[in-house]
Amino acid sequence: MAISRDQARNEHTSSTSHDQFSETIYGVVCSTCHNYILIDKTNCPPSCREHETCRAAYA
């Protein structure tokens, strides 16, 4: 199931306490760990390893 940018930020903050994010045309990047927490192209959670885009961004 697809999640929104707000949901992705809230889930990341609750699991890591990181609360600073950058919005890009591709998705949402955590400013602390510098990883994409959501990619709009696939709109998948960080646990996704099905798409090459997710594997690269969430690695």
pLDDT digits (tens, 9 = 90+) for 37-58: 887 765 677 787 787 777 777 6
Q: How many residues does the chain have?
A: 59
pLDDT tens-place string over residues 8-31: 899 999 999 999 999 987 889 999
Looking up tokens 């798409």 gives: 51
Q: Which domain holds residue 41?
A: 5-58
Count structural domains, the chain.
1
pTM: 0.62
Q: How many Å apart are CA 34 and CA 12, to the nearest integer?
A: 12
| Token pair listed for 29 | 């990047």
Is the pLDDT at 1 greater than 60? The verdict is: no
Helix or strand holding residue 13 (H, E): helix 5-16
